[in-house]
Amino acid sequence: MKKTKVLLICVTIIILIPLSSCDKNPAASQAMAEPSAGFQGGDNYQPLDKGLYGNYYEIFVGSYYDSDGDGMGDLNGIVQKLDYLNDGQPESNTSLHIDGIWLMPIMPSPSYHKYDVTDYYGIDPAYGSMADFENLVRECGKRGIRLIIDLVMNHSSSEHPWFVKAREEISSGADWRYANYYNIGHGQAGDRTHSLEMDDYYYEGVFVDSMPDLNYDNEEVRREFENIAKFWLDKGVSGFRLDAVKWLYPDQQKSVDCLKWFVDYCKSIKPDIYMVGEVWSEDAEIMKFYESGIPSLFNFTFSDENGYPAKAADSGTGAYYANRLQRWDTIMAGRFPDAIDAVFLSNHDQDRSAHYLSEDPQKEKMAAALYLLEPGNPFIYYGEEIGMTGRGRDENKRGPMIWSLSQPGGLTDGPPARDSGYGASRSIEQQLADPDSLLRFYIRAIRLRNQFPGLWRGRVEEISQPDDALAVFKSVDGENILIVAHNVSTEEKTVILEKGKKSLGGFLTAAGGEVILKGNKLTLPGRSSALVVLG
């Protein structure tokens, strides 16, 4: 019988890693508030080939970094901050070490959020030019960063030329071409429909009247989106985040089949494309959409204040989290073994996690440890790593990234309709200078994750514990086995490991203290996690 290597992961917020020069010199971190001088990884930098796996970062461009002083975040601002996201130094304490960026919509649109597109082949002038986008693609490529863009397939803007022409056709009595691009009817309207205000005609719009739903029974619409996808793939994007794919049709199976058509087409153009879809629903419906062959779907079951990581971090009970994680992973492994779970704490549509974690840095760190040490691809919503707040109306959740409180350069105005303030416990500048900050915790957690591929792609097997505060599971990747152990309570706990040779692979602690491995006994201080290597 072959020997099995086992890794056990303990996450604690204590530091095993020597402090960088930034730790000793606050001025070094202060410089992060200024535009990046350029890629620090060197011409020979070779990022680890993770395939479609990686750590992703969601950006609302308009609120991220303003490069030209007009109050609006832009594509050049992202370029200037790429070193913050990945500076090419695997041991860096000033970079998040992300592998992919998801840009919320960047195409021309009349709205601040840009989920109602008027030109699928352009860049909104508020964000820059196509040349700026091409430069961003190049700079991401130097760092091995996969750039995916939001593609809004379910609907267009009511100001899109297609819809404008559709109205003209109906008004003039002309033959329908563009009117067939949409779900337009006559007579009795139904749910989620809106009046065209002419001869009792109406159109479907699941969300609002400014977002008319597209008709994918029309082959011309499908050809339009094949051309759109090819255009952006030719520009060098690594893939797409697909908005609202649950609503492509009123019928679930037809939506799944439609998504399969689009995924198959994109894979025919770029076999290594990464795509992640939004199906904001319960776990059964999310799983159903994996039948399309899409690489990832967002795991809404594990997100927001009702998600298992947040509940575990907030309540101090971890066993149920481990049980639910195994259940979810077992279903995925059985039905869709090649699928990559897309895990997150919050996104642009949800209250920021700092709120439902009581703006408590220890709880925020614990929640981060839980989801960053799960299999799949973690998605970090910009500002989550510094405890940014924002809740209520959507504009409040998409506020300005807080780079520095002493040097306001690059700070954006944020969405104009915000009706509450925004903030973080401290700015990026301050948190980079503090080894105990939430930001530095994120950096350490991602560095730990990067060291062990079994954390990304392993299958989960819960190891039940007599104490509900403990969440312990194996992550099995072939002959390599990682054991992730979390103590989500505020009190010290002990985990008894299986017999055999083992070593402590790494740990994180949210509240201080030290993780100790002695023989088969693993001691975890309050709110900590650990990785143990067996064999």
Q: Which residues are catalytic?
A: 243, 278
* b/e map 196-228, b = 16+ CB within 10 Å: beeeebbbbbbeeebbbbbbbebeebbebbbeb
Instruction: Compute CA distances 340 → 158, 261, 294, 524, whole Å.
Output: 35, 19, 9, 30
The Cα–Cα gap between 458 and 528 comes to: 21
Tokens of 385: 């790593």
The Cα–Cα gap between 368 and 395 comes to: 24
Residue type, position 350, single letter? Q
The Cα–Cα gap between 20 and 150 comes to: 36
The Cα–Cα gap between 256 and 125 comes to: 34
What residue ranges in 296-359 does DSSP mark as E strands?
296-297, 342-344
At 284, give phi and psi (nearest 5°). -65, -40
* b/e map 37-47, b = 16+ CB within 10 Å: eebbbeeebeb
- Give the position of tokens 């919503």: 381
Q: Are 61 and 78 in contact (CB under 8 A)?
A: yes
The Cα–Cα gap between 301 and 344 comes to: 10
Q: Are 401 and 65 in contact (CB under 8 A)?
A: yes
* C-alpha 229 chain-centroid distance: 21
At 4, give phi and psi (nearest 5°). -105, 125
